[in-house]
Chains A and B, each alone.
Chain A
């Protein structure tokens, strides 16, 4: 199963394995507000997909549509070859973890995890065995008789996860499962969720507004904005080759400046001409947004190829392992990120004059309406 997951992660738009879930032209309205607009998506078996976007972009709505909790107005949902579009949640096959966990506070951890099993009229011994198994899986075997209020946030989250997995669902839905936790617990748990998902090979969709979370856990990231999908791709694709200006700005940090295409190898921004490889795909005179990742601005070294600009340091934001320098590069306001070691070497202090290099293959261009 690990193999298939790894394989899925190397692919971009389409999934490599057989489809587990097909979302086909789904639209969901709340009154006049269109929460999800004509969205289509295919999720492969065993794949880990993240819906990423700002709040109100429709990512949670899409998740609830897939679960059948807020049925779509138009479009189809096909799960494992079965059209589930019209089915109520109870007739679909999924486990879900909510942001609030929704653990039953008046039941013990064991009772919470076994809640769905009891209704299946399974023998008690079998239920007990399965509950133990699930609690072992999330590392909470010794907490079975506690009530949710007696657990930490991270532990509650694991109970919710165990409960969602109890009926062996074909699809695991996670709605911002980590957003209520402290930063440290959060980083730890997202690794745990990822490794659990790999071990079980369960198709998983996680909704998040945290790009680190999405980039670090997902095989593929679905970036959403205003009810539509902006881009679907592996974390690297989404980060390195954003297809739209929105994705460029939302995933990671970005210097974004208005400019014009000069010729097949250069763009003009302010008084500066930048060498740019992707200018070849555009006509001269096109109005564009020129985007540069802060880490792609390099302190000048003899070997570097690219546009060299003199720059003055306006300010430095120290972040520990890296530092962010606010530059005035030949009149352009640019932010540069450098390693802590480079910071020491370059002695970047406000007022310092340096030279930077902008590699032509790292200059991204997006359409700009005039």
Chain B
């Protein structure tokens, strides 16, 4: 045998390798242009003055010397903490009832709990104003306190964030291994001890995760404090005031960066918690089936009824308010509030803009996210680039919509930017929405791809089948339900979001959610509620379509799942 060193090998790239790498490169370009560059511009802008000269930390110093701005930071943080402290136990008990008890009507409770996701965050705030506002019928119940301010913000946020916390906690609690409970029972542990030693530890990281999600949602939500915050300043409204009200873009950039910080910290902590969430359910786990136990199920049932009643009540009030002539003095029903043209110049056109925006976001975004995820996951060449992109893909989750919105203004409105023509078009709203909601779709796609055998592509290569064909014939058909899920998620979020688009819309393309804010600001509370109701109904309709399409899909393309 030769003593010389063996020859090094430079593998030749196959057509598949080139194709996948091209997609990875496209994803890299997408993230660079629509995420990194705007955020970098925002960051740089916060160190400049109005004329663009570098001023170091001068803007930040001014920020911390302005008491009203500093107050808004503190207000944001404490309302977020209070909301989290209220939501997490409530959502936990609700999730516990859904997963670990035998209460009747679970499907109905579950659906009810998810209603707020379909509506803009403004809806609960508007409803609260109907009930407890200056003209509210139950105003006296507040004993002189005002709903406008922290009280209203926290209550509305609890309502708005509840489904998010519930979903995470229900997932954390649903993967129970019955054998653990049987073992605990065999060892004669008391029920309380089982709860303390088996159930709670299992949901521990779910609770951490849910807490951070709720905290971040409250911190970065714009709609609720805008509508019900009154003169109580929070970060989100402050950014808006600086940028839109005072045209002080530099201070807007500073507040944006300040807003980014807690969100990024919460995000990092959440990632940490998720990594520690070990799979408690092994492949051999025996699913836990709760037995009837009246002493537990009775109170839980009442609790669920109460929560659901509040959910439906609040949404109901908003809908009802949108249908009456003059709240609360003249309660005759009317559809006048739905003639949006009389309150805002673009009228029903805003709804049509929202539908187009949401449709494009879903139809372009879902395939884009899935194809990018596929290339990142399966590319054999450029693995370093792909893993960096996988990191980039989770960043949007930590970037509040408002921050992304301002960042887009700075970047795309810059005179030197060749992409400036996008500014003020529906296209930029679509791109912004795709980036804003990218991460959840990406993670869902990744989970789906990881559930597919990684050797599908190897087998195809050995059979000399191009990867495109295997993607079209195997990967895509098997992933259609997930793709549909992602599309509907994008649609509903693009339909309901206010935060990012409020900075980016232009005359002629005002989204319906922004119209809600505008009409409310102009004193048209009932038309605002009407528009929020229309948004809710649109989202619900799309959800309904999803269920129908899902059934059709599973009948048509998922036949292989049947045994």
Contacts and interface: CB of A to CB of B under 8 A. Distances in A.
A88 interface: yes
Contact of B6 (A24, A89, A92, A147): A24
B462 interface: yes
A98 B465 contact: no
B196 to A, nearest CB: 39
A91 B14 contact: yes
B559 to A, nearest CB: 7
Given A90-B16, A115-B463, A75 B6 contact: yes
A214 to B, nearest CB: 22
Interface residues of A, number: 47
A102 B458 contact: yes
A56 interface: no
Contacts of B8: 73-74
Given A86-B11, A90-B14, A148-B560, A74 B463 contact: no
Interface string B1-41: 11001111111111111000000000000000000000000
Contacts of B461: 68-69, 88-90
B92 to A, nearest CB: 37
Contacts, number: 120
Interface string A85-109: 1111111101110101010111100
Contacts of B478: 105-106
Contacts of B104: none
A164 B477 CA distance: 23
B290 interface: no
A128 to B, nearest CB: 17
Interface string A65-89: 0011101111110000000011111
B562 to A, nearest CB: 8
Given A119-B464, A149-B560, A149-B563, A106 B453 contact: no
Contact of B463 (A107, A147, A163): A163
A40 B6 CA distance: 11
Nearest to B13: A88
Given A88-B17, A96-B459, A26 B477 contact: no
Interface residues on B, range: 35 or more
A69 B7 contact: no
A308 interface: no
Nearest to A105: B560
Nearest to B557: A106
Interface in B462-484: 462-466, 469, 473-474, 477-478
A150 B563 contact: yes
Contacts of B456: 102, 104
B291 interface: no
Nearest to B5: A74
A153 interface: no
Interface string A125-148: 000000000000000000000011
Nearest to B16: A90
A105 B458 CA distance: 15
Interface of B: 1-2, 5-17, 453, 455-456, 458-466, 469, 473-474, 477-478, 557-563
Given A88-B17, A102-B455, A166-B463, 12 more contacts: A67-B458, A73-B8, A75-B7, A86-B12, A88-B16, A90-B464, A91-B14, A96-B459, A147-B560, A148-B560, A150-B563, A164-B462
9 contacts: A38-B6, A74-B8, A88-B14, A89-B458, A98-B455, A106-B478, A107-B474, A116-B464, A120-B464
